Chains A and B, each alone.
Chain A
Amino acid sequence: MFFDRTDIYTPEEDDLDFISFAAHELRGPITVIRGYLDVLEDELQPVLQQDQAELMKRLIVTANRLSSYVNNILNASRYDRRHMKLRLSEESLKRIYEGVSDDMQLRASAQNRVLVVDIPENLPTVAADANSIGEVLGNLIDNAIKYSNEGGLVHVAARPIPGFVEVSVVDRGIGMPANIMPSLFHKFYRSHRSRETVAGTGIGLYICKAIVSSHGGIITARSIENEGSTFSFTLPIYDTVAQKLKSSHNSNASLIEHGGGWIKNHSLYRG
């Protein structure tokens, strides 16, 4: 007698739907927590002692991080269901970074890291979904903070290379051994050492890669154990892809060879 048990081993659409539903549900409480913290931070500022203000900062950082985790889960679920959609427009990296800058500085300072950002004004514009790239930056900077040491420097830089702008996030932290590098961007992958010492789900780099490759860019990692890591990703220069984009109504399908996925631009603002 044979039993067909394949359904136990394949992630079903239902499971992903459930995860996505649960993650969406979390957003209600997160809205209230982040919103009220935003209000209280302002209104309590005159009366808070210095140590209380520090606790407040940690609360805000933690709530923001929680929100990013939920976004990672939702993005991963969409990507796996091939529901990811990017809405690409002409963007400057400087402007994209400004969208996450306050949050990143807060995260770095709450963990006692020094975040130095070096994104020149005069870089060529890129074709990007600003929110999604903001999430990539958030994940990479968050990792650099997590895997570096007290007082450590995290350096974000950008430079033009032929056809692309390359963004790098560099830390001088604990680094990684060469043998784990090939699995780094796999879903749920975490090295033994990370599992023991640093909290995380192993979904951040997976979704970073998904977002960057959906832009037609590539993401890479270089690392030396005990010296630090450099994560870089590229985005196509807008002028090089403008024609293709126009003919596809700003969808990313024309930029990637195996399209089909899409990411929602989830705080669309039409000025």
Chain B
Amino acid sequence: MAIKTILVIEDDRFIGEMYVRSLKKAGYEVDWMVGGNDGLIAARNKNYDLILLDVMLPERRGNEIMEALRGKEDLIPNTKVIIITNFEQDDESRMAMEHDADAYLIKAEITPKKLIDVITKLG
């Protein structure tokens, strides 16, 4: 299944805009949410092919969103999730997130071009 629609949940405006711009230029349909609550609502309401999920978000952390979406039952069985973060935690919340996600990427290492490569491989 090729990836067409993407939800970006990222609170840093510069970083969010950068991903949205590059993904749109690459032909993806992109929605962008800056808060954890809005992000979770959007993820539940619309069937995205892919969610790019930041971890350090206002209101609700990425790991909580992941838990809400895939913890007890998988609410998004047709959606891939890529965790994007600059803070590597050495704890269980990360292990759980990694387990439930399709990829875990460090933002500082992933330029838009590399991100699109990963998305293409994932799709």
Interface residues of A (CB under 8 A from B): 24, 27-28, 30-32, 34-39, 42, 67, 70, 74, 78, 83, 85, 264, 266-271
Contacts and interface: CB of A to CB of B under 8 A. Distances in A.
B75 interface: no
B73 interface: no
B108 A67 contact: yes
Contacts, number: 71
Interface residues of B, number: 26
B106 A32 contact: no
Given A38-B111, A264-B88, A267-B109, 12 more contacts: A24-B87, A27-B86, A27-B107, A28-B107, A38-B112, A39-B18, A39-B22, A67-B109, A267-B103, A267-B104, A268-B105, A269-B121
Nearest to B105: A267
B67 interface: no
A266 B106 contact: yes
B59 interface: no
Contact of B113 (A38, A264, A266, A271): A38
B110 interface: yes
Nearest to A67: B108
B90 A35 contact: no
18 contacts: A27-B87, A27-B106, A28-B12, A28-B15, A28-B107, A28-B108, A32-B15, A34-B111, A37-B111, A39-B22, A42-B113, A74-B88, A83-B90, A266-B109, A268-B105, A269-B103, A269-B118, A269-B121
Contacts of A34: 108, 111
